[in-house]
Amino acid sequence: MSQSPRDIAGEIRACRLCVETPCGAPLPHEPRPLLRVSSTARLLIASQAPGMRAHKSGVTFDDPSGDRLREWMGIDRATFYDERRIAIVPMGFCFPGYDSNGGDIPPRRECRARWHDDLFAAMPQIETILLVGAHSQRYHFRRLGAPVDQGAKVSDIVRDWRALFSFKPALMPLPHPSWRNSGWLKRNPWFEAQALPVLRSEVARLI
């Protein structure tokens, strides 16, 4: 019998691969895998990895980036965290740690290699995927066979959102909602004027 999303999520929450058999340096702290899945959610937020604040609270997007993403989607916190309607699956389930410049390092490779293919196979009901950042975009484009240049920059991919939104499942590439991207948003007013109304309409339809 195939596993349900909740069964797989339970195994993920007990995972210690990045500490006990890591690909490279081990995770520099105790694992705390974060995700929200169900067999009923039709909308998926495919993100990068939890930040330190989410690692401490145990709540995904529990930071200003989450506030901005919820604003983009046009929903409140209660709706955002209702896993019956919205799944949240980062490419790395645990906060990966900081690099030498104080920035978050990339998501752990162990997560994708061990868990992601099985997890998404268990959620065929997903109709629309919000692709937050480069790592999630590259993985889901490959997984779904989306016609995208794997070497394209995130800005170019986001700019081509209309073509990807017509794909099945619908794909909505997003810049990371970090406040560090405020400059990009100011330089690209079309994102708020053209993409966000479609995003909010799609979110409302699915939830």
Domain boundaries, the chain: 5-206
**Distance of alpha carbon 111 from alpha carbon 11, whole angstroms:** 12
User: Which H or E run contains 187?
Assistant: helix 182-187
**Is the peptide bond preceding residue 169 cis, with omega within 30 degrees of 0?**
yes
Q: What is the pLDDT of residue 103?
A: 78
**Distance of alpha carbon 173 from alpha carbon 157, whole angstroms:** 7
Q: What is the pLDDT of residue 1?
A: 57
CATH superfamily of the domain spanning 5-206: Uracil-DNA glycosylase-like domain (3.40.470.10)
pLDDT of the chain, 207 residues: tens digit per residue: 579 999 999 999 999 999 999 999 999 999 999 999 999 999 999 999 999 999 999 999 999 999 999 999 999 999 999 999 999 999 999 999 988 887 788 999 999 999 999 999 999 999 999 999 899 999 999 999 998 887 888 889 999 999 999 999 999 999 999 888 899 999 999 999 999 999 999 999 999
Q: What is the pLDDT of residue 148?
A: 86
* Cβ count within 10 A of residue 147: 8
Q: What is the pLDDT of residue 47?
A: 96
Inter-residue contact 143 to 25 (CB < 8 Å) = no
What contacts 175, CB < 8 A, 6 or more positions away? Answer: 133, 154, 155, 158, 181, 184, 185, 191
Point out which residues pair with 86 in neighbouring strands. 43
Query: What is the value of pTM for the model shown?
Result: 0.95
